[in-house]
Amino acid sequence: MRNPHSIDALKQVERFPRAALAAFLLAGLAVAIVAGNALAASTNLVKNGSFEKDSNGDGVPNQWTGINLTPADKRVCNQSKAGSCSFKMVGDGTTKYLYQVIAVSGGSGNEFNLSAWTKGKNITGGLAYVYVQFNHTGGGDNNVLITIPAGTSPWTLRQEPATAAADFDSITIALQLNADSGKVWVDKVILVPVP
């Protein structure tokens, strides 16, 4: 006949590891949730925002599309703020764009932080921007611009808060140059949601 105290002791020993394991798993889950929220808040939505990748060597970085670009408007790896490369646009009196559409949706009032490193040389007769455009689900859009000043400027971190004015089904990030002359370089374009 077994000692009843031994069986109770065995049951207590079996319960303790299960309780410890459950507590450990709950603590791990809490850490994962906190880390996941922090990651979501700090994840850059812009793909190839530092223009490091150009798989086909055409001068247009991976994940980006150009409009009205000339051979002078291209990914360059002799000027950069972060990494090895940046994107250069040259003013020639036309309006040029480099953009990407981000497949993310959200609601009116969603907030983001937009930032980019920019450099300008002798920009005259026009304007240069980095901007975010919230493409509204019901049609229309709203934009937030980072203006790159005319003239010459060193590598400068430029930042703007960006808020969606209505529900949106995608976001467009773009570089735009509409200047008679001059050059602009852009690097490390970042768009992150505000928690």
CA dihedral (136, 187, 88, 84) in degrees, to 10, reads -140
CA dihedral (110, 43, 59, 132) in degrees, to 10, reads 10
How far apart CA 23 and CA 160 sit, in angstroms, is 43
Q: Has residue 53 been placed in a domain?
A: no
Number of domains in the chain: 2
Q: Decide if 130 contacts 117 (C-beta within 8 A).
A: no
In terms of residue numbers, what domain contains 175? 65-193
Residue 94 shares a structural domain with residue 27: no
Question: What per-residue confidence (pLDDT) applies to 70?
Answer: 96
pLDDT digits (tens, 9 = 90+) for 26-85: 444 443 343 333 334 469 999 999 999 999 999 999 999 999 999 999 999 998 998 899
Q: Has residue 54 been placed in a domain?
A: no
Q: Has residue 84 been placed in a domain?
A: yes
Instruction: CATH number of the domain at 78, please.
Output: 2.60.120.260
> pTM score, two decimals?
0.77
Residue 103 shares a structural domain with residue 169: yes
Residue 89 shares a structural domain with residue 184: yes
Residue 144 shares a structural domain with residue 103: yes
pLDDT digits (tens, 9 = 90+) for 92-115: 999 999 999 999 999 999 999 999
